[in-house]
Structure 1
Amino acid sequence: MHNVPPLDLVSAVPGVAWPALPDPAGSALLALLFQFERSQWWPAARIEASQRRQLAALLDHARRTVPFHAARLPVAMPDPDDGAAFEAAWQALPILTRGEIQAADAEEALLAESLPPGHGEYREIFTSGSTGRPVRAIRSQLWELIWSAFTLRDHLWHRRDFAGTLAVIRDSTPGAAPWPEGMTAPGWGGAGGGLIATGPLVGLNVMTPPAEQLGWLLRRDPDYLLSHPSILARLAEESRRTGRRPTRLRQVIAIAETLRPETRATIEAALGAPVAEVYSTREAGYLALQCPDHPHLHVQSEGVRVEVLDEAGRPCRPGEVGRVVVTPLHNLAMPLIRYDIGDAAEVGAPCPCGRGLPVLNRVIGRRQNMLRLPGGERRWPLLSSSDLGALVAAVPGLRQYQVVQEALDRLRLVLAVERTPSTAEQAAAIAWARGKFGADFAVTVEVLSEVPRSVAGKFEDFVCEVP
């Protein structure tokens, strides 16, 4: 590998400890990493050509096996080796919206009728993004394997020591990892892909108050810390206020929200460790990873096509800001072709590091509000896939939702549904909100045909109106 710490691979063959012989999944991960190590240095034109060939295979599969795309895609696309013709036809394909996914999902019209051999089983998740529109997404086992490969690439790029302790503050399931001690696992789990021997993983619920989070972090004293920028910023504030910080921390990993330059600087100064950014979504996977040598992001072109488009739908040039449209290359279970994920980003110039992967200077507008408590604390109102699944089950026909904190002890649950929820369904929604955010909250339900946009023209799934 390219300038990385030593790795201890896990052998799956009894009687063979070294050199390690991985199981089939581990061997597939090694094959992907072997190719990633080389493809990242290809010229941009070669990366684009290879991506077009995979896009052609994805479109062919979607046209043949996915009812939604059969009625939407052209009968044929130009040869992917004819770059100009293929790109012109690609730009003519319609943009897929979140609302269309919901409408198609009602009849499972976006699901492939079958998967090619080697792609494994269907896996279901729910995602909200920052739009407040719950989306049921289906992915394949192969797609999850590729997710693991990009997780490992991120660790390898940033030369992380797999023998260290990884601390994670991102679980939002009530009671799943209660403070003060949280949970402990013997390895990094999916982060090691079952291929690489790692140190322990320690985790904490995001609903833990910041002072307790810092106390937990000091006791665990990890090598690496992964969480959301808003949580990391509050930890930094608490660390600065108390004059205490972990002693072994080598790097902080920021996920799920926009990482602003001032937030990065605050975290690095308070916690005494550099910050690396990850840009991903549940339904589309890894979109971009921070360059090992620069603060901007590299699009993960081996796994996804990322387009940044201006108001006219044209690709943005370096320095321009536009909407982010993505196409995961390998999720044949539920192909998302030119999917508008609701984010904006700024395109960057080619990176001085020499990698041919496209550059995003920054991702814009993914910040959510914080839940405020009577004691003055703020907590991150994150919704897990299981949380969203429970809300969808409680309110059949849910199209969109928003939680509005009107006062320190009062929430309004705004629901956009196909039909007015019954009394029992509204009661179930209220129970869901109180179970998620706190039993002391008074919760009311407001039913609308569409959740209104913010002043900035965006949807927010959690809005705090407390002064």
Structure 2
Amino acid sequence: MMQALSKHLFYPLWDLKDRSQRLQEWKNLEEQQWWPQEQVRQLQWQRLQELLKYAHRHSPYYREVFATCGVKPEDIRTDVDFQRIPVTTKQDIRNHTNRFISDKYDKNRLVSAKTGGSTGVSLSLYFDEACQEKRNAAQLLSDRWSGWDLGLKKASIWGNPPVPKSFTQKLRLRLLDRVIYLDTMNLSDESMTAFVDRWRRDRPGAVFGHAHSIYLFARFLRANQITDCRPKGIVATSMMLLEHERTVIEEAFGCKVTNRYGCEEVGLIACECECHRGMHINLTHVFVEFLDANDQPVKPGQPGKIVVTDLNNRGMPLIRYRVEDMGVYSEKSCACGRGFPILERLEGRVADFLKLPDGGQVAGISLVERTLTKVAGVEQMQLVQDRLDRVIVNRVKGSDFTEQTDSLLLDAMREVFDERVALDIVDMSSIPQELSGKYRFSICKV
């Protein structure tokens, strides 16, 4: 009954109270996802042109960019025209934050956020309320692909969970958000045991959280033979979901994992549907490009740097913003019938790619994943390249660790790194988290 009341009464009433367009945008997205891709792309291009005209008039930063590159919004009629606008970097935002902000808004009245700076550059970001509502609508849509629905109670495995303080915040938690938290900053047998007890009382219908943190909790469930935590959906986000982690999570919960990709700067970028064969790009809210080292488009199936234009944010427009992630897109259609194209796979952040002495590079996340599935006895590992000729292998022993484990680990690493690169194994009790509660498994400092 509470789920039905939340979905059909409290959600609409709360939107009415806030004069929000979130539910209306969600209903629009529910319809648009089934449009033919050509029709969705027409809407996307229309929204892109509206954004370009707006940024040209109201963003001092982009007004100067347009003038410098000799382009006017009305000149942009094709993808090739669009590529004449230079790529925006994190450094650009950090150096010129206030110039990005629209002159139609008071900065102090915008919604603000700050990225954690995991790639070395911390950013201050600003969004108008309508942008936030549309982002929330896209999240509702993608969450429903996992098996969750409005009003269904959630179990959130997250770092630094929010603590409701005001009466309104507490009321919202009880009537709308309906979420219980496992704080990933305190993952221990005691905290996870207490969370299982809470789960049994509250019976959440879906799990949301950092991919690796969900995996750690799944391993705890499996190790303790706990089989009554059975959600209808699982959404793994905020980190790359490794395939061996997906296997363990699905086995422990008896439920498929939905992989979701987004970032603080632009919101939802892509998410898996119920077919789990790649992630559908959030076409009506973002314009996504995949570019090579020279900022030229790559072909389908080839890795490229992900560059995103936010079609929602008027408070602080972001055009052709390089998110510092690598990914591969596909022109294949999905069996689900949705018109949103496919992000075939993520290959990690640019900062996760390790460098080879001969000038090549390797996706560190992929190397970690391959090694963990190949070498028995390693529970967790992290690669840190502090010099071109050295990689530190932080290794956590698994229950099946033997005297041969480390030599097999080095052999697996030598398939990528030759003798010019020193490989130093460091015994760790656990892999340290970032302040956000996320984990990084490949770090290049070169």
Which TM-score applies when normalising by structure 1?
0.68
Q: How does 1:92-103 map to 2 (within 5 A)?
A: 92-103=84-95
CA gap of 1:26–1:148, structure 2 versus 1, over 3 A, is: farther
Does the alignment pair 1:300 with 2:299? Answer: no
Does the alignment pair 1:109 with 2:99? Answer: yes
- Do the aligned residues in 2 keep the contact of 1:165 with 1:201 (CA within 8 Å)? yes
Q: How does 1:225-374 map to 2 (within 5 A)?
A: 225-348=207-330, 349-366=332-349
Percent sequence identity over matched residues?
25
Query: Could you tell me how far 1:294 is from its partner in structure 2?
Result: 2.5
Does the alignment pair 1:216 with 2:194? Answer: yes
Cα offsets for 1:208-246 (capped at 9, x unmatched)? 124234313311223222111211222222222222244
- The corresponding residue for 2:132 is 144
* Amino acid paired to 1:244: I
Q: Return the alpha-carbon distance in structure 1 between the equivalents of residues 33 and 320 of structure 2.
A: 23
Q: Return the alpha-carbon distance in structure 1 between the equivalents of residues 274 and 5 of structure 2.
A: 17
- The corresponding residue for 1:30 is 23
- The corresponding residue for 2:179 is 201
- The corresponding residue for 1:76 is 72
Query: Could you tell me how far 1:186 is from its partner in structure 2?
Result: 6.0
CA gap of 1:176–1:149, structure 2 versus 1, over 3 A, is: closer
Q: Quick one: which of 115, 121, 131 aligns to 1:127?
A: 115
Q: Return the alpha-carbon distance in structure 1 between the equivalents of residues 320 and 90 of structure 2.
A: 11
SS at match of 2:186: coil
* Amino acid paired to 2:299: R
Cα offsets for 1:278-328 (capped at 9, x unmatched)? 111111111111112234101111111111123343333332211100111
CA gap of 1:24–1:93, structure 2 versus 1, over 3 A, is: farther
Q: Return the alpha-carbon distance in structure 2 between the equivalents of residues 144 and 34 of structure 1.
A: 16
- The corresponding residue for 1:462 is none
Query: Could you tell me how far 1:10 is from its partner in structure 2?
Result: 2.3
Q: Which moved more, 1:60-69 or 1:369-378?
A: 369-378
- Do the aligned residues in 2 keep the contact of 1:130 with 1:342 (CA within 8 Å)? no
CA gap of 1:159–1:310, structure 2 versus 1, over 3 A, is: same
* Amino acid paired to 1:95: V
Q: Quick one: which of 146, 152, 168 aligns to 2:156?
A: 168
SS at match of 1:128: coil
- Do the aligned residues in 2 keep the contact of 1:326 with 1:341 (CA within 8 Å)? yes
SS at match of 1:220: helix
Flag structure 1 segments of 5+ consecutive residues without an equivalent. Answer: 14-19, 178-183, 190-196, 385-402, 405-452, 458-467
CA gap of 1:57–1:43, structure 2 versus 1, over 3 A, is: same
Q: Return the alpha-carbon distance in structure 2 between the equivalents of residues 188 and 150 of structure 1.
A: 20
Q: How does 1:1-40 map to 2 (within 5 A)?
A: 8-10=7-9, 23=16, 25=18, 28-40=21-33
- Do the aligned residues in 1 keep the contact of 2:155 with 2:180 (CA within 8 Å)? yes
Q: Return the alpha-carbon distance in structure 2 between the equivalents of residues 361 and 66 of structure 1.
A: 34
- The corresponding residue for 1:446 is none
- Do the aligned residues in 1 keep the contact of 2:325 with 2:347 (CA within 8 Å)? yes
Cα RMSD for the two superposed structures: 3.7
* Amino acid paired to 1:351: C
Q: Quick one: which of 145, 154, 162 aligns to 1:157?
A: 145
Query: Could you tell me how far 1:8 is from its partner in structure 2?
Result: 3.1
Cα offsets for 1:226-267 (capped at 9, x unmatched)? 111211222222222222244332322111001122221121
- Do the aligned residues in 2 keep the contact of 1:316 with 1:347 (CA within 8 Å)? no
Q: Which moved more, 1:208-217 or 1:66-75?
A: 208-217
- The corresponding residue for 2:370 is none
CA gap of 1:227–1:213, structure 2 versus 1, over 3 A, is: farther
CA gap of 1:199–1:313, structure 2 versus 1, over 3 A, is: closer
CA gap of 1:166–1:11, structure 2 versus 1, over 3 A, is: closer
Cα offsets for 1:108-149 (capped at 9, x unmatched)? 111111149xx9941111103541210011111111111110
- Do the aligned residues in 2 keep the contact of 1:327 with 1:338 (CA within 8 Å)? yes
Q: Return the alpha-carbon distance in structure 1 between the equivalents of residues 275 and 153 of structure 2.
A: 23
Q: Return the alpha-carbon distance in structure 1 between the equivalents of residues 43 and 86 of structure 2.
A: 22
Q: Return the alpha-carbon distance in structure 2 between the equivalents of residues 12 and 225 of structure 1.
A: 20
Flag structure 2 segments of 5+ consecutive residues without an equivalent. Answer: 353-364, 366-381, 384-393, 397-426
SS at match of 2:100: coil
Q: Return the alpha-carbon distance in structure 1 between the equivalents of residues 39 and 179 of structure 2.
A: 38
CA gap of 1:87–1:378, structure 2 versus 1, over 3 A, is: closer
Aligned length in residues: 361
CA gap of 1:382–1:142, structure 2 versus 1, over 3 A, is: same
Query: Could you tell me how far 1:185 is from its partner in structure 2?
Result: 5.8
Query: Could you tell me how far 1:159 is from its partner in structure 2?
Result: 3.4
CA gap of 1:140–1:25, structure 2 versus 1, over 3 A, is: same
Which TM-score applies when normalising by structure 2?
0.71
- Do the aligned residues in 1 keep the contact of 2:304 with 2:328 (CA within 8 Å)? yes
Query: Could you tell me how far 1:53 is from its partner in structure 2?
Result: 1.4
